[in-house]
Structure 1
Amino acid sequence: MAKYNVNEIKGVIPALVTTFDMDENFDEKRMRALVDHLIGKGVDGLYLTGSTGEGFLMTPQERMKVVEVVVDQVNGRIPLIAHVGAIGTKISIDLAKQAASAGVDAISSVPPFYWKFGADDVFNYYKDITGSTDLPMIVYNIALAGLVGFEQVKRFSTIEGVAGVKYTATSHFEVMRMKEEIGNDFLVYSGCDEMAMSGLSFGADGLIGSFYNLMPELFIAINKAMAERDLKTAEEKQRIANIIIMHATQKNYVAIMKRALSWMGVDGGYCRRPFSNFGASEEAVLKDEFRLLRDKHDIKGVDFLDAL
């Protein structure tokens, strides 16, 4: 049973990585440790089995297992959003019903992808999934699966139970427009890590992103600074975050985050193929690169870099 009202789901919300062992099996022990680490860091919620969580590389049964484990480990300490997106509506409904039964606080979904579905098909996809549980739906707008325009989001907002959007796009003027035309209660989560400050400045209610797994302290500081209108601090923290993000995204950044977590004693495990992983020699090079980056830009106060 949900423990939080959707209007309480705000702040810094990592799009949680899924921990796999070297044989690509879900590693429950690693996942539980990562959840505790992030809660200890002060994150405001978790977003499960999404793109960063390699959700589309798992079977529905595996995704359900991840949700069950995370709900159990969190034990009501912070809100949880489960991504239930799939190409097929039936699969998404099955995932949504299980997530509701497990005890998450909201569900989310990318639009159906691969085939070129029409506007009514996508609308009915969200209507059917949202209607399958009592949980609020957060629509997921991302180029990887298919961007949905402002008018589509506005139409989705008419579905009973659709409470907001995870907006992973750079056109942040649309955030302000959503608040003005759909209503201030319609939640908008900024999904571009490198534009967290921008998303908040245009009225986003919270931040959902990948790099919050690795360096939540930077984004917690950005969120706090923006709330206090301390633009200088927010700008400096965003600058540091972007230096790291731009370097990491030249390679498989999810694998980088998982290895870098281990440098702080929190083993994020490995990625599933076809994503690549880092061997011991490659990881040694990766550490050297981050040390050089840290020293070149005189970066302090980023835990995974301080640990090197």
Structure 2
Amino acid sequence: MAKFAIHDFKGVIPALVTPFDLDGSLNEGLLRGITASLVARGVDGLYLTGSTGEGFMMSPEERMRAVETVCAEVAGRIPVMVHVGAISTYQTVALARQAEAAGADAISSVPPIYWPFTPDQVANYYADVTASTSLPMVVYKIALAGEIGFELLARLAAMPGIEGVKYTAPTHFEIGRIKTEIGPDFRVFSGADEMAMSGLAFGADGLIGSFYNIIPELYADIVAAMAEDRIADAKALQDKANAIIFFTLKQYPMSAVKRIMAWQGADAGYCRKPFDNYETPEAEAALKDAYRAFRDAHGLAEIGFLPDL
């Protein structure tokens, strides 16, 4: 039975990475370790097996094992939301039911991908999946998985059990429209890390994203600054976060995030192919040198970014 309700999801929620070994094997030990580390660092929740978690690179059975591992490690200390999206309703329902059995507090899903499904088919998908558990559903709006326009989102929001949206798009004016026209109780989670300040300004209830795996404290400071109407402080913090994001995007991004987590004391393993990895000690050493120079050039050690690198 879920311990947390949908309104308990707020603040900084990492879209958790999934650790793999270089041979592609899921490493459950490392997964427990990064979960424990992020809980200790004070994150407000976790979002599992989404884009950042390489969910679509995993078999259904592996996704279930990952969810069970994280939920067991969290042990009810913070809310857990599980991305259960798949092409078929059948598979998504199975993932949703397992997430509930494992102890998740909410589920989330992209719309069914690959084929050009009609709005009615998308709506039926969400209705069937949401009805399969007692957990609240958070729709995942991201262009990579197909567009969910405002009209379709409003239609979905009227369905029982659909209680929020993970909004990964730059059109943040629409967050305000969601809060006004759909209603203030419909939860909105800003999913663009480089626009967290903007998402909060337009009414987002929380943040879900990749870089909260490595700089959650910086984003917690942004959340606090926005709550206290310290706009200049929030912008300065967002600028520092964006410098880290833009530099990382020039690397092998997800592999770099996982190596940074290792340097911070919580090894997150590697990515699955066809993603690239820093596979040799020489490659990782060169990456570390690049981050050390970047950190020093931007004065980021003072905010706690890789101070001991």
Shorter-chain TM-score tier? over 0.9
Counterparts of residues 128-167 of structure 1 (less than 5 Å): 128-167=128-167
Partner of 1:54: 54
What SS does the corresponding residue of 2:138 show, helix, strand or coil?
strand
Partner of 2:182: 182
1:305 positional shift:
2.0
CA distance in 2, matches of 1:49, 1:19: 11
Are the aligned partners of 2:10 and 2:207 in contact in 1 as well (CA < 8 Å)? Answer: yes
Q: Which amino acid aligns with 1:70?
A: V
CA distance in 2, matches of 1:142, 1:116: 15
Are the aligned partners of 1:264 and 1:304 in contact in 2 as well (CA < 8 Å)? Answer: no
Partner of 1:299: 300
Partner of 1:223: 223
2:282 equivalent to 1:281: yes
Q: Which amino acid aligns with 2:113?
A: F
CA shift in 2, pair 1:307/1:147, >3 Å: farther
Counterparts of residues 1-308 of structure 1 (less than 5 Å): 1-278=1-278, 279-308=280-309
Per-residue deviation, residues 141-170 of structure 1 (Å, max 9, x unmatched): 011111211111111101100000000000
CA distance in 2, matches of 1:252, 1:160: 41
Per-residue deviation, residues 43-70 of structure 1 (Å, max 9, x unmatched): 0000000000000000000000000000
CA distance in 1, matches of 2:302, 2:64: 36
Unaligned stretches of 5+ residues in structure 1: none
1:23 positional shift:
1.8
What SS does the corresponding residue of 1:212 show, helix, strand or coil?
helix
Q: Which amino acid aligns with 1:288?
A: D
1:132 positional shift:
0.6
Q: Which amino acid aligns with 2:286?
A: V
Per-residue deviation, residues 265-303 of structure 1 (Å, max 9, x unmatched): 210101011111003222111111111211211223444
1:304 positional shift:
4.4
Are the aligned partners of 2:295 and 2:305 in contact in 1 as well (CA < 8 Å)? Answer: no
CA distance in 1, matches of 2:11, 2:132: 27
CA distance in 2, matches of 1:17, 1:203: 26
Per-residue deviation, residues 108-148 of structure 1 (Å, max 9, x unmatched): 00011111111111111101100111100000001111121
Question: Share of identical aligned residues, percent?
Answer: 55
CA distance in 2, matches of 1:300, 1:263: 14
Unaligned stretches of 5+ residues in structure 2: none
What SS does the corresponding residue of 2:107 show, helix, strand or coil?
strand
CA distance in 1, matches of 2:45, 2:161: 20
1:252 positional shift:
2.3
What SS does the corresponding residue of 1:144 show, helix, strand or coil?
helix
Are the aligned partners of 2:21 and 2:269 in contact in 1 as well (CA < 8 Å)? Answer: yes
1:14 positional shift:
0.2
CA distance in 1, matches of 2:83, 2:272: 18
CA distance in 2, matches of 1:296, 1:264: 20
Are the aligned partners of 1:194 and 1:245 in contact in 2 as well (CA < 8 Å)? Answer: yes
What SS does the corresponding residue of 2:145 show, helix, strand or coil?
coil
Q: Which amino acid aligns with 1:289?
A: A
CA distance in 2, matches of 1:306, 1:238: 19
CA distance in 1, matches of 2:225, 2:235: 9
* Bigger Cα displacement from structure 2, 219-228 vs 249-258: 249-258
Q: Which amino acid aligns with 1:296?
A: A
CA distance in 1, matches of 2:99, 2:299: 43
Normalising by structure 2, we get a TM-score of: 0.98
Normalising by structure 1, we get a TM-score of: 0.98
CA distance in 2, matches of 1:9, 1:215: 19
What SS does the corresponding residue of 2:233 show, helix, strand or coil?
helix
1:21 positional shift:
1.6
